[in-house]
Chain A
Amino acid sequence: MLNSLGREIPEYIEGIGKLEPFQGALTKLSKGWMDEPTIPAPNKAYLPHQSKLCRTLEEAIIRSNPHNGMTVSFHHHLRNGDILLVQTLTILHNMGIREITLASSSLNECHDPILPYLVDGTVTRIFSSGIRSELGQAISKGVLDTPVVIHSHGGRVRCIHTGKIQIDLAVIPASAADCEGNATGSHGKSAFGSIGYAVIDARYAKQVIVVTDNLVNFPCIPLSISQNFIDHVVLVDSIGDASKIATGTTRITNSPMDLRIAKLAADVIEHSGFFVPGFAFQVGAGGASLAVAKFIREKMKTKGLKGSFMLGGITSYCVDMLNEGLFETIFDVQSFDAVVSNSLLNNRHHIEIPAALYANPFNCGCITNKIDVVVLGALEIDVDFNVNVITGSEGKIRGASGGHSDTASGAKLTVVVCPSFRGRIPIIKKRVHTIVTPGETVHVLVTERGTCVNPAFPELEANLRKAGLNIKDIHDLEIEVDKITGIPAPLEYTDKIVGVVEYRDGTIIDVIHQLKEK
């Protein structure tokens, strides 16, 4: 069957179930409720003064009823410094546990060591918002029989509510925790800031293990994760490589190209009609996307303009803007450097939020619904403004859906920033390999060679033209870039589906096919 973007979606996939085709960004939400029933969270009981402390992670896992076919979940707040996902799966592998469903909120390069477990059947299904490096390559080549499911950050919460992901065991690294499992990421030697993605896991997993390298006296404050959901607590020497978890402050890029794109994007925002007192703003954590914040910060100071809140993945740059009074509040679901952890801990206007409040489409108002302006990156964008952030130009899985579609859906102005080509590969396509974010939720594309406005938003285009910005038709820009790079040969795929891309409402926006071996 075809979804509304013309992508062929199977009706059913073994190991995943019946699929519902994407029908529009707000079609399912406009009903006002979610049709799928919500599964109940488990109820558990502990006796007074019963100890939750385990001597080792292995002991905690043994006490958590490991079994074949279980689902194990993790958060990715430790980014590329995480070591516990690999340790946990190794323990389960050594116990002979098979057919595990891995439900990590994202997967990074540091998780490559689990690749043998995909090959030998220890792990047979994966749900995640992002997959990179060797894991992504292997999955693209078809290492798993069941396609991976790529969801957004908000969509993951819905997946857990509906039972699509039924977590048997959640392993939650925390930089500080107490003996009851009250836990946080905001202090300790391995501080990583917000632990927002793990809150839903703690609430819904049948068994929850908090692992920390910093066991503090009861109670651990703040209670980012609270003890009433935690079964076991483990003290370890280290939860990860601190140098890769969070370091220092975020630096704005020095790349002239990224700075050029960022400056153009800031001009777009300034003249869009949404750069007004009280505006809410989200930017990414690196490259051109973060650099937009630099120019917006200057424009806000020049105009004496004060915003409402910043949201999302938070960098030290966002904290600086909060401290300068440019914004009143930060809502932080994920923190990117050490300075952010300090701010989260000490500034009451810097608020830690769970993924559900951040971006779950099926509640009475996630905060992404309140965004005025979001700046997002892209691996590819097509002439219909559909954006791919999951598969690279060579067709392999190497990125993350993350909050891309969540924030684009909520923002009044979604600005996608990217170079018009990378290396010799054009980024603007007639048709992207994989759609993650539908073009109907993308307002503007900013590249170094010009700005393109989605024709669905003529008033915005009029505003930008009036301001004298260099606006091009996206079809013209595509042709201009193709003239420079040439048109790459089309990728060759087999019929086997290796990945299913869920839109945030649970419908299927695209599938990823296995790459043909050359």
Chain B
Amino acid sequence: MLYIPGNNPAMIQQGGIYGADSILLDLEDAVALNQKDAARTLVRNMILVTDFYDSEVCVRVNHLSTPFGLADLEEIVPLQPSAIRYPKTESPEEVIELLNIIEKIEDRHCLPHDKMTLHAMIETAMGVQNVFNIASKFSRIDAITIGGQDLTADMNIIYTPDGTGIDFARKRIVMAAKASHIDVIDTVFPDVNDEEGLRRETEYAKKIGFTGKAIINPRQIDVVHEVFTPTEEEIRKAYRIVKEFRSNSAAGIGVFAIDGKMIDAPIVARAEYLLRLANVTVE
């Protein structure tokens, strides 16, 4: 997910060419207070006229507690981007308030309530505390994300490249997402020139369960894709597991072995997930 400042027309215009799975047009932290109105209008117009090719488009609006949040929703919701990203989500009550406003706007524009989804950003200690209820109670929330910089600020700690301070939050947020069967996207890696650091952090995020990572520069796309894309070897192995599972199941065998290693239901489930990611069908 590629962050693009909502007040930069050139970057928005080129947003779709880099091959990011989704782009996030940011009206919140990337936009200075005195440019909020102009950015909102710009993002609205660019969504209307720009071809973002295969990238999904999300918009991060300002929080409803700010003077800009409501105006952002009034402008953006009628465009029905793939998702609205809501910053500093701290409680289910906030989400209820947000959804009420969104659905009223959708009603005024005769739009359905099930097309555009919500991404809840968890970037305060209170949000981390309530993340299970935020993630699990709303069908429109199909992803939660962690905002590392804001979270460390809220915790009064310094952000370090090893991510020690937010490690608990990362894992708790991942667990909430897994319990709710929704996507979970890791925070940005701020040093665009440190490719190895990005790779290390992305590999860690994948290892603990994140399903994607936010990025701030198109140069970071390839590394994130390389980490999250299953390798050819992994795909071949998963394919073999699923295929043999099906033929064994047909013969009434539940547990079997491949190359001396036991294959049971959890391993099959993981192999099926990997093949879905790789868009591979077992014949």
Contact = CB atoms under 8 A, between A and B. Distances in A.
Interface of A: 254, 256-257, 259-260, 263, 448-449, 480, 484
A484 B15 CA distance: 13
A289 to B, nearest CB: 18
A260 B53 CA distance: 15
A448 B17 contact: yes
B14 interface: yes
Nearest to A449: B17
A480 B49 CA distance: 12
Please report whether the interface of chain A is mostly helix, strand, loop or mixed according to DSSP.
helix
A260 B13 contact: no
Contacts of A449: 17
A256 B13 contact: no
Contact of A260 (B51, B193, B218): B218
A277 B224 CA distance: 30
Interface residues of B, number: 11
Contact of B219 (A254, A448, A480, A484): A254
Interface in B15-35: 17-19
A448 B16 CA distance: 10
Given A448-B17, A449-B17, A256 B217 contact: yes
B166 to A, nearest CB: 27
A263 B222 contact: yes
Nearest to B220: A256
Contacts of B218: 256, 259-260
A140 B6 CA distance: 41
Given A448-B14, A449-B17, A484-B13, A256 B219 contact: yes
Contacts of B13: 484
Contact of B18 (A254, A260, A480, A484): A260
B219 to A, nearest CB: 5
Contact of A256 (B18, B51, B193): B18
A245 B104 CA distance: 66
13 contacts: A254-B219, A256-B18, A256-B217, A256-B218, A256-B219, A257-B14, A259-B218, A260-B17, A260-B19, A263-B222, A448-B17, A480-B51, A484-B13
Interface in B215-241: 217-219, 222
Contacts of A448: 14, 17-18
Given A256-B18, A257-B14, A263-B222, 18 more contacts: A254-B193, A254-B219, A256-B217, A256-B218, A256-B219, A257-B17, A259-B218, A259-B219, A260-B17, A260-B18, A260-B19, A260-B218, A448-B14, A448-B17, A448-B18, A449-B17, A480-B51, A484-B13
Interface string B80-123: 00000000000000000000000000000000000000000000
Q: Interface majority SS on B: helix, strand, loop or mixed?
A: helix
Which 9 A-B residue pairs are closest in the complex by CB-CB distance?
Answer: A256-B218, A448-B17, A256-B219, A260-B18, A449-B17, A259-B219, A260-B17, A256-B217, A256-B18
A480 B51 CA distance: 10
Contacts of B17: 257, 260, 448-449
Contacts of A254: 193, 219
A259 B18 CA distance: 10
A404 to B, nearest CB: 25
A254 B18 CA distance: 14
A290 B216 CA distance: 24
Contacts of B217: 256
Nearest to B53: A449
A257 B219 CA distance: 9
Nearest to A259: B219
Contacts of A256: 18, 217-219
B52 to A, nearest CB: 12
Contacts of B222: 263
B47 to A, nearest CB: 15
Contacts of B193: 254
Nearest to A421: B13
Contacts of A480: 51
A484 B14 CA distance: 11
B2 to A, nearest CB: 10
Contacts of A260: 17-19, 218
Nearest to B193: A254
A484 B18 CA distance: 17
B249 to A, nearest CB: 33
A263 B18 CA distance: 10
A484 B51 CA distance: 9
Interface string B187-225: 000000100000000000000000000000111001000
B183 to A, nearest CB: 25
Nearest to A263: B222
A257 B13 CA distance: 12
Nearest to B222: A263
A288 to B, nearest CB: 13
